[in-house]
Structure 1
Amino acid sequence: MRTNNTYLQARCKRLTARRGPLRALVAVEHSIITAIWHMLTDNLPYHDLGGTYFAQRDPERATRRAITALNQLGCTVTLNPIQAAA
């Protein structure tokens, strides 16, 4: 993982936690090959989704995951939503 805040790095971190480092590496390699195939087939440049793609895709799930992680560390969590500026 030599790049920061990229979709592939986020994917690798998520998969490493569930499957282990070697399976995550193979899955990320497959993602890269698939992206290259689409780039060559459609004649399009690579567009990175960003490192926050998974959190933006389902923010409630990301919130639950963070709360669960804090609870496992022995912290209680109270959520106070940020109010939008008028």
Structure 2
Amino acid sequence: MASWAKFCPKTHESAGKKKAKGRGKGNPWLGGILGRVVFGFSRTNTFLGTRHRRLARRMAPQKAIVASGNAVLTVIWHLLADPEAHFCDLGPEHYDSRINKDRKVRNLARHLQALTGQTIVVRDGKVTVGPETA
């Protein structure tokens, strides 16, 4: 459905090289409505709002709108395809519950160690800072 609505990125491939080419020219009315829907839920405390904010942090605003619109179209397709399906919002904490907290702490400690040059060790939730490494 997202491909039919031209609300997904196009990819052109030639000689084994892939080139991104924006999105196709779909129905401008559908694109406008999806843009308004995305703008509406981008400020809400829901799964789709959190998803949009996560995408908008790392990509251009228009690309984040297209990606979020693609997610909305996917939800709509699943609701239309299965009459028994019901929409259940996963909640804004869905991504936070899937993050391994210990791995996040280790990664942040490693980044801090690279920035400061000091030895940083995390054991049982306790942080110890050692002397600068050579």
Q: TM-score range by the shorter chain?
A: 0.5 to 0.7
1:10 CA drift (Å): 1.1
Q: Could you tell me the TM-score, scaled by structure 1's length?
A: 0.66
Report runs of 4+ in structure 1 exceeding 3 Å deviation. Answer: 61-64, 78-81
1:61 CA drift (Å): 7.6
Write out aligned runs for 1:1-86 (5 A).
1-4=42-45, 6-43=46-83, 44-60=85-101, 63-64=104-105, 67=108, 80=125
Higher helix content, 1 or 2: 1
Q: Is contact 1:55–1:62 with CA below 8 Å preserved after alignment?
A: no
Higher relative contact order (CA 8 A, sep 6+): 1
Runs of 5+ unmatched residues, structure 2: 1-41, 113-121, 127-134
After superposition, what is the alpha-carbon deviation per residue over 1:24-62, rounded to whole angstroms, capped at 9, x for unaligned? 111000000000000111121211111111111123288
Q: Could you tell me the TM-score, scaled by structure 2's length?
A: 0.45
Higher strand content, 1 or 2: 2
Q: Is contact 1:7–1:51 with CA below 8 Å preserved after alignment?
A: yes
| Corresponding residue for residue 132 of structure 2 | none
